[in-house]
Amino acid sequence: MSDQVRQLSPKELWNHFADLNAVPRPSKKEQKVIQFIKNFGESLKLETKVDEVGNVIIKKPASKGMENKETIVIQSHLDMVHQKNSDTNFDFETQGINMVVDGDWVKAKGTTLGADNGIGVASIMTLLASNDIPHPAIEALFTIDEETGMTGALALKGGLLDGKILLNLDTEEGNELTIGCAGGVDVTATGTYKQVVPGTSKGLRISVKGLTGGHSGVDIHKGRANANKVMNRLLFDLASNFGIGIASIDGGSLRNAIPRESVAVIAVADDKLNEVKKAVADFASIIKNENSFTDPNIDVVIEAADAPQNVLDYDFQYRFYVQFIAVRMEFTE
């Protein structure tokens, strides 16, 4: 981790953020960061409790002269969106985030940074550790698993907190206070298909990569490209025009991240190989032009792969794309 981060001002905040980011904390696997925050509270000799699901509560008495003020609950979540580029070798369960200072920005090398909601957690840590900031009684609430279901907040039992005013530090704008929020819907679609053995064919691996990505809640209105949508559009065209067979599609697994990469392996008939390569190259030019403003580094790369032994049966493949297009039209009309 770059020592430059620890030299940023205010040092107390950035050092707490650096300490936090050294601890692995992917959603649903927060055991290490729960222990980290528990140890932090106990090291300050503050009342510290971990509830049944892993939420951590640290209580700090009011500073002198503030004893009669209303108790304030300050909340942030411990988990982070764990996503990396395909060419980055990184294990979110064992490694801390590799941070760098790039001009006016703090970034991570090849992975998400964890500022959501790490900077909120670091802010609360700074306040708890401070000896010179006047404050009422504080109840610091660190919840788990916000990114993939808010299960920590939902499982929080009554009676653990005394404060009636809660400040949630999971926000995106430094000069705004939000008093409401939008909801979300998870959809799981399943289907049954047969595998078939393609005829004489060659294998190709197609990669859509270099997208800007972002948070699906915060950045969804910015018009950024979605790697899975780009890939599906390309595969639909290739299936319609050249009868390709699809062996696999991998576009990530996080529902709260706009996909930055998608990779598909396809089978192409020998006599269609050159036409398919040209079609992909033409598509790459189109997609780069369409997304030049929001995703200037978007690219579509094609390379040779082992010929797939099995692909989706063509009837299922056709029905899948027809239904996908119909659903997309239903939601966009």
Contact 133, 60 (CB under 8 A): no
> H or E element: which one contains 213?
none
Write out the two tokens for 220.
Answer: 């969804």
- Structure letter (DSSP) for residue 84: B
Catalytic residue flag (residue 79)? yes
* Burial tier of 249 (Cβ tally within 10 Å: 0-12, 13-18, 19+): middle
**Positive or negative CA dihedral for 253, 144, 96, 1?**
positive
Pairing of strands 214-215, 105-108: unpaired
Q: Catalytic pick from 116, 146, 147, 295?
A: 146
* Burial tier of 128 (Cβ tally within 10 Å: 0-12, 13-18, 19+): buried
Contact 128, 48 (CB under 8 A): no
Cα distance between residue 33 and residue 23, in whole Å: 6
Q: Catalytic pick from 79, 139, 147, 295?
A: 79
Cα distance between residue 193 and residue 319, in whole Å: 11
Q: How many CA atoms lie within 13 A of 66 on its CB side?
A: 15
Q: What is the DSSP string of 6-75?
A: HTSSSHHHHHHHHHHHTS--BTT--HHHHHHHHHHHHHTT-EEEE-TTS-EEEEEPPPTT-TTSPPEEEE
The length of the chain, given as a count of residues: 333
Cα distance between residue 231 and residue 229, in whole Å: 5
Positions marked catalytic = 79, 146
